[in-house]
DNA sequence: TTTATTTAATAAACCGGTTTAGTAAATCGG
DNA sequence: CCGATTTACTAAACCGGTTTATTAAATAAA
């Protein structure tokens, strides 16, 4: 059964394509198309298994009902989980989702966004790899409706769905302190990212409030590829200094997962003594050794807000405001 | 800077849109467009930041350069990792990827595929939720180029990228036997899935070859949602029978991850005695208790073959054959 | 010098929809 | 019974590209 178009149906029914278009879009009554004609058209469409060509529709209407979901790495379960919700909420609003991973490469990110714009996406939900607000402004040049998440630059007036990074970090740090820890290591990455900056400041502020001296030796930066080897070295550093860390805060799930791996493989004797804390949550934190106190991000809510904000922006180009959601601290 | 079209450029340059189209597609020389004209057109395009409208191009050429990647759940790291590679290889060939999750629901799968067809995707890479070959045939009705993976029905003549499920399962089982285990539990799910069927038969065949009596009490089916509670019950069953299991084979990563969770939370005293084995690999298998012997699927290769086969099918509609790749057994 | 060929372009159809403006015929109100 | 309104439907423009067939002018060959 070859594909059938609106033109063919018009021909078969002996009416104009206008009429067919009206009827198949459910505007038959409104447009005063007789019942007989409507039935004839619908009958032909059904029997030929008509399916609208959305590409043609997009071109004609100037709207593709497609959005982009652009993140550093879709195989990271944090982004994967959000992707699943994004998909769901997008579908509810009639949008399909194009997914792309930037690999933390700004040039690639720009290329991807240009490609998606050429494909006439209506908007994009973006966890940008950009190191700062001005860079991001260039990247997202043009006026593509955009909602930022995970990597949010407040300096910009753009729409965003953020979380309380600083506060969550404080809460995690406080929890470690309450459990008697005073030497708290921090394993961080590429500290120019705004969420990471905030997480670091939450850690620092809490130590200060508690009158614990800040020791910059306790803070280790891992490069973006966060290879297992560099995590191992970081742990080595934290555990073998003169006054070693007794607890470690990891600033995201990948760091923590690698940390757990490294400690089990290189310092298994330490697993009972140490306490870990991490941003994002992973199932394995429930039973890993050491146990991990974590700050669970509200993935479902993040996705929901991203989609709602984006759709609002697409429809009304109404400038609403960004939002900040709260993590849930899981104490194990 | 408002969007500029090929028509506007033609107007500004004082030439026809045909000429502009030729030049901007790099066919200026071939089409004998004078250097002067070419330069003028390219200059205008650049200064106005021209970007082709792929929707229009799609409509005109009857090709969207978009493919679908449809799986049960994109947040499952197994699919997530493959998605990342799919993305990469697709991009190399000029395709963008639309991702959708079926949630193991055939009706939803059909809806998604219809939606994607309406969007004129050129082909789809599909891990189908269908329970059998005839069902899948209906689902994929129409003649959308399709490559199946993970959920492959050999009865069909379709293109597929499969793995050696039965053999891998045998290898895992053999490994457990070689380590002295004779009571090997099997935690499986919805056994109508072809890959699961094959994995079960690999287990059974190996037991038989080794002269170990098959005990159907050792085989437990978990329902598709594989809730943690049902895993707990399965473990309870396997560990508290008169002649309990000393090793357990999990037929996919989600089952294994939940199994590790359950054993650590409900039977922590057993973690040192038991040995686990699982399909797919997860980083946590390296250090979890119990350790997990696993069959790592070649994600990169799977993705590469999926894309290559799909492109071949799209371009030539040449009927090539399916392929079966091998897992890597990781012995811990 | 005439004809054949190459150069440099273009008009127009086409892809498959949406939408505006309009028309002829039927019905209604007075 | 005539003008106004409603009913039922359509022509044609438009979205932004690609592609085929054609043309006029310039150059080459005979």
**Residue B224 reports pLDDT greater than 70:** no
The interface residues of chain A toward chain B in range 6-35, judged by CB-CB distance below 8 A, are none
Q: Check CB contact of B52 with chain A, cutoff 8 Å.
A: yes
CA–CA gap between residue A76 and residue B124 (Å, rounded): 23
Q: Please give the biggest Cα pair distance in chain B.
A: 90
Tokens of B318: 């040449």
- Report the chain B residue with the minimal C-alpha distance to residue A291: B264
How confident is the prediction for chain B on average, in pLDDT?
Answer: 92
Average pLDDT score over residue span B153-182: 91
- Show residues of chain B in contact with A283, CB under 8 Å: 257-258, 261
- In 3D, which of B101, B92, B118, B121 has the Cα closest to residue B303? B92
pLDDT band at A138; cut points 50, 70, 90: low
**Residue B157 reports pLDDT greater than 70:** no
pLDDT band at A142; cut points 50, 70, 90: low
The interface residues of chain B toward chain A in range 66-95, judged by CB-CB distance below 8 A, are 66, 73-77, 80-81, 83-84, 87-88, 91
- In 3D, which of B179, B174, B169 has the Cα closest to residue B280? B169
The interface residues of chain B toward chain A in range 241-260, judged by CB-CB distance below 8 A, are 257-258, 260
Percentage of chain A beyond pLDDT 90 is 76
Strand D positions within 7 A of protein Cβ atoms:
7-12, 14-21
Give the pLDDT of residue A17: 96
The model's pTM is 0.94
Give the pLDDT of residue B332: 80
Q: What is the 3-state secondary structure (H, E, C) of A110-135?
A: HHHHHHHHHCCCCEEEECCCCCCHHH
Q: Check CB contact of A47 with chain B, cutoff 8 Å.
A: no
B212: DSSP letter: P
Q: Check CB contact of A4 with chain B, cutoff 8 Å.
A: no
Percentage of chain B beyond pLDDT 70 is 95
**Residue A141 reports pLDDT greater than 60:** no
Contact B80 A84 (CB under 8 A): no
Coil, strand or helix at A292 = strand
Q: How far is A288 from chain B, CA to nearest CA, in Å? A: 7
Q: Check CB contact of B58 with chain A, cutoff 8 Å.
A: yes
Q: Nearest residue to nucleotide C20 when comparing alpha carbons to its C1'? A: A18
Give the pLDDT of residue B192: 79
Q: Picking from A204-213, B156-165, B213-222, which range would have the lowest pLDDT averaged per residue? A: B156-165
pLDDT band at B225; cut points 50, 70, 90: low
CA–CA gap between residue B44 and residue B63 (Å, rounded): 28
Q: How far is A74 from chain B, CA to nearest CA, in Å? A: 6
Q: Picking from A179-188, B65-74, B282-291, which range would have the lowest pLDDT averaged per residue? A: B282-291
Q: Picking from A125-134, A182-191, A225-234, which range would have the lowest pLDDT averaged per residue? A: A225-234
Query: How many CA within 13 A on the CB side of residue B134?
Result: 0
Domains in chain A, start-ordered, CATH in brackets?
6-51 (1.10.260.40), 64-162+299-325 (3.40.50.2300), 165-296 (3.40.50.2300)
Higher per-residue pLDDT: A321 or A223 = A321
Average pLDDT score over residue span B180-195: 88
pLDDT tens figures, B13-67:
999 999 999 999 999 999 999 999 999 999 999 999 999 999 999 999 999 999 9
Higher per-residue pLDDT: A154 or A96 = A96
pLDDT band at B139; cut points 50, 70, 90: low
């Amino acid at each position: 059964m070859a594909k059938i178009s609106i033109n063919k149906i018009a021909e078969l029914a002996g009416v104009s394509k206008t009429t067919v278009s009206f009827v198949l879009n459910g505007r038959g009554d409104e447009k005063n198309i007789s019942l007989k004609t409507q039935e004839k058209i619908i009958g032909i469409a059904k029997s030929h298994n008509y399916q609208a060509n959305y590409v043609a529709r997009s071109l004609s209407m100037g709207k593709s009902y497609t959005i982009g979901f652009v993140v550093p790495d879709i195989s990271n379960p944090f982004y994967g989980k959000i992707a699943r919700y994004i998909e769901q909420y997008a579908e509810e609003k009639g949008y399909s989702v194009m997914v792309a991973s930037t690999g933390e490469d700004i040039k690639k990110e720009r290329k991807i966004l240009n490609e998606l714009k050429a494909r006439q996406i209506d908007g994009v939900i973006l966890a940008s790899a950009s190191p700062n607000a001005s860079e991001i402004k260039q990247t997202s040049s043009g006026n593509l409706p955009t909602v930022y998440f995970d990597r949010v630059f407040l300096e910009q007036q753009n729409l965003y769905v953020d979380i309380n990074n600083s506060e969550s970090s404080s809460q995690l740090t406080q929890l470690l302190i309450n459990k008697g820890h005073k030497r708290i290591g921090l394993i961080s990455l590429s500290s120019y990212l705004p969420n990471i900056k905030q997480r670091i400041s939450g850690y620092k502020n809490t130590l200060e409030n508690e009158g614990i001296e800040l020791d910059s030796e306790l803070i280790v930066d891992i490069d973006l590829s966060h290879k297992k080897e560099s995590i191992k070295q970081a742990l080595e550093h934290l555990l073998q200094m003169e006054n070693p860390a007794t607890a470690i805060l990891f600033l995201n799930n990948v760091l923590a997962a690698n940390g757990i791996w490294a400690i089990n493989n290189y310092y298994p004797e330490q697993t009972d003594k140490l306490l870990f804390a991490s941003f994002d949550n992973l199932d394995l934190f429930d039973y890993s050794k050491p146990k991990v106190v974590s700050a669970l991000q509200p993935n479902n809510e993040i996705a929901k807000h991203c989609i709602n904000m984006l759709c609002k922006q697409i429809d009304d180009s109404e400038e609403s405001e960004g939002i900040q959601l709260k993590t849930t601290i899981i104490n194990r």
